[in-house]
A and B are shown apart, each in its own frame.
Chain A
Amino acid sequence: MEMRMDWDADGALRLALQGRLDLETVPDIRKRVLKALKKKPSAQVAVDLSGIERMDTAGVAFLVELRNLVGGKAGDWRLEKASGAVMKMLELARLDVLADAGADHGRD
C-alpha cells in the first residue's frame, strides 16, 4: 500500500491511496494519517482513491473515521475518483453518501 499526503496553501490535506485498503493495511495507514493530522490539523480533506485495487469494510470504516475527524461538513470532505468496485463497497456498506459529499453543498 502506497500513500501520499500533501497540504495545499490553505492547509487542506490531500491524501492519495494506492493498492489495497483492507483489514491488513488499514491499521498502519490509519496510524500514519492520524499522526500527520495531529501534527498539522486540517479541516479539509480530499481523498484520491484512483489507485485503490481492493477495499473492504475496514477500508470503508477508515474513511468514515477520517471524515468524522475533519468535521464531515459538505465541502470539507471529498472522495475522488472512486472506481466502480470501490463504489460498490460503499453501497454495500450503505455509505455511498460518502462519495458525493463534494457535490452536495446544497444539502444538509
Chain B
Amino acid sequence: MAETEAGAIIQVKSLNSFYGQRRVLQDISFEVPAGKVTVIMGVSGCGKSTLLRHLIGLKPTDPGQIFVEGRDLAGFDARQMEAFRKRIGVLFQAGALFNSMSVRDNIAVPLRVHTRLAEPTISIMVRIKLHQVGLTRFGDYMPSQLSGGMRKRAGLARALAMDPEMLFVDEPSSGLDPITAAGLDDLILELREAMGMTLIVVTHELESAFRIADQLIVLDQGRVLAAGMPESIRESRDERVVQFLTRRADERTRDQEGYLSDLLTGGRKVGVHP
C-alpha cells in the first residue's frame, strides 16, 4: 500500500466546508496515521459529522483538501470512488440500517453485493460479527425491534462486514451503558491490533476517547482547537481545551440583552426600535 511520509493514510489540508452560504468547517488540517485510532471530539454542532462526510467522500470536497494515500479525493472518478468505498466501513451517527430487513441480512448485504462468498460462509461471518458486538442472539430481529444502543451496534457489525482497512464511526457508544461502551472500546483496540485497521472515531465520551486514541483532534466551532497525542492534549494549558476537558459549560448566556431581543425577534436581525 502506498503511504505518504509518516505513514499517513489520509491527509486533510486546509479543509473548508459549507452548507449553502454557511461555513461550518474552516481551515481544518490533520493527518490520519495508518493502523492507528484517531478520535475526533468537540461539542455538539461543531462539525464532527460533517468532517466525517468529507473523509468518506459523501460530501464533495474542493480539490487539494483531502488526500487518500497521496491522491486527491476530489479527483476520484466513479471507479476510484467505488474502490475506495469497498475499503472503508462506516457507522453513521443515526445508524442507518435497512428497516425492511433483519439484522442478519443487513450485515450480509455488503458481502452479498461485493464478494463471491458462498452463503454458508457469509452466514458464519455474520454470526461472528454479531458476536463481536454483543448481539449474538439478535440476528433475526428487525431493526425496529432493537433498542437505540443495539441498533448502533448492529450498524457497527455491518460496517465491519467486509473487514475494512479503514473504519469511520460516528459516536459508536451513544446510548450505551458504561459496560457495553467499554466493550466497544476494547473491540476498537482489538481491531487495530489484529487487523492493523485504521480507525476514525467521533465520540463525546472523554474517558473512552483517552482510552482508545493514538491521536486526538478537538474541534471547536468548525476549527481544530487542538490536535495531538492524548497526553499532549491532556497537558494543554489552552483555556478552551481545559474548558472542554473539564466539561465546564459556557457561562450561562453571557449576553442577556442580545438573548432578550432574540426572544422577541426570533433571532432575526432587526433595526433598533424607535
Contact = CB atoms under 8 A, between A and B. Distances in A.
Interface of A: 22-24, 26-27, 30-31, 56-58, 60-62, 64-65, 85, 88-89, 91-95
A15 to B, nearest CB: 16
27 contacts: A23-B111, A23-B117, A26-B117, A26-B121, A27-B115, A27-B116, A27-B117, A31-B118, A57-B125, A57-B129, A57-B163, A58-B117, A58-B121, A58-B125, A58-B163, A60-B125, A85-B194, A88-B193, A91-B190, A92-B190, A92-B191, A92-B194, A92-B195, A93-B131, A94-B128, A94-B131, A94-B132
B162 interface: yes
A26 B115 CA distance: 10
A57 B127 CA distance: 11
A38 B14 CA distance: 60
Q: Is the interface of A mostly helix, strand, loop or mixed?
A: helix
Contacts of A31: 118
B118 A64 contact: no
Interface residues of B, number: 21
Interface of B: 111, 115-118, 120-122, 124-125, 128-129, 131-132, 162-163, 190-191, 193-195
B118 A57 contact: no
A57 B194 contact: no
B199 to A, nearest CB: 14
Nearest to A64: B124
B121 A62 contact: yes
A26 B122 CA distance: 11
Given A27-B116, A92-B190, A93-B132, A61 B121 contact: yes
A23 B162 contact: yes
Given A57-B125, A61-B125, A93-B128, 8 more contacts: A22-B163, A23-B117, A24-B115, A26-B121, A57-B163, A58-B125, A58-B163, A94-B132
B163 A23 contact: yes
Given A23-B111, A92-B132, A30 B121 contact: yes
A30 B194 CA distance: 24
A61 B124 contact: yes
A22 B190 CA distance: 18
B118 A27 contact: yes
A34 B137 CA distance: 29
Contacts of A88: 193-194
B150 to A, nearest CB: 19
A23 B194 contact: no
A57 B159 CA distance: 13
Contacts of B121: 26-27, 30, 58, 61-62, 65
A91 B194 contact: yes
Contacts of A64: 124
Contacts of A62: 121
Nearest to B131: A94
For A58, A60, A91, the residue with the greatest tally of chain B CB atoms inside 10 Å of its CB is: A58
B193 A65 contact: no
A23 B117 CA distance: 7
Nearest to A91: B194
Nearest to B114: A23
Nearest to B193: A88
A54 to B, nearest CB: 9
